Every structure is written in structure tokens, then in C-alpha cells.
Amino acid sequence: MRRLLITAVLVSCLSGCSIYEDMMRGDEDQARVRLSPEDSARVTELYIATGRYGVMLAQVRDILRLPESVTAGDAAVISSADPVQELRGIADQQVRVARELSSDTLAACNRKGVPDAVRQLGCETAGAFPARLKQPVTAQIAAVSARDEELGALVMRWWDAACSVAPKPAEGEPHACSIE
């Protein structure tokens, strides 16, 4: 009887362990599905920041009278109950923004009429644009956040340069760079 009880306990344990192991092993992304409240807030921040970069690039194109970027477009709505899907969507949007920035800086570099300082920055940025920013990253908060930091610095530098040469608005009119 004791042997039967021990066997039953072992089978039960092994079965439970097997289920646990399958749950933990599963798809690599599944292990990251459960986000802490801080990570959920960070996903929201990343979503907002990426959308903001697209708006800023559109403003720069308007200020410098650059053609619409072939990579520019409406930002995709990234809404999902699955945080991994949201992070994938944000990572894809970051790639779109990086390609847009690269295209815009090259266009400014090659365009007459762009103020010299901005044109020079465009040439420098286009010539040394990090190729890794144009490639997808894994759907992990650390990877998407790191890309956000690097991409945000490049966009801000480009936007600040364009805003510094933007025409001053008439009294009572908003400045072209009023989102900041």
C-alpha cells in the first residue's frame, strides 16, 4: 500500500512539474506577458514617445519644406491586451520612425535652400545613421526602451536644429515647434 501511495505522489508531482515546465518553457515571449504595473506604464510611455517622434519629423519636414518621406505614414494604432504584441508594434513603429529620420536627413543634406547649419547636420546624421535602428528588436521592454533612448536623442537633435531656423510666428500665432 505504501508503494502505491508513493507511486501516486510521484506521478502527481511529475505531472504537475511537467505542466509547470511546459508553462515556463512555452513560447519565449509568453514568459514576458505578465508585466508589472511599472512595465505597463513604460509600454504606454514608449507608445506615446514613438508617436511624438513621428509628429516632430512631420513638423521638421514642414519647416524645411522637405518632401514627404516615402517611409512616413500614419502611425499604426497599437492596442492589444497582449503586452508582447504592443511591444512588437512599438518596435515596428520605431523602425518606421528611424527610416523616416534617415530619409529626411538625407533629403535635407541634398536640398538647396535648407539653412547651412541644418543641412550640415542632415549630412552628418545621414552619413552616420546607425543601421541597427532600422532593424527590428525583440519585444522586450529593455530592448525597446534602449532603442527609444537612442532614437529620441537623434530626433530631438534634428527637431531642435529645424526649430532654431523656423520662422517666428505672427503675434498670437503658435510657434511651429509648439509641441514641446
In the chain, where the domains are located:
33-164
Lowest mean pLDDT among 14-23, 43-52, 92-101: 14-23
Burial of 90: CB neighbours in 10 Å, binned 0-12, 13-18, 19+: buried
- 55 or 16, greater pLDDT: 55
12-16, 110-114, 150-154: the lowest-pLDDT one: 12-16
CA distance 53 to 71: 14
Which tens digit of pLDDT belongs to each residue from 68-82?
877 645 555 555 678
Predicted local confidence at residue 61, as pLDDT: 96
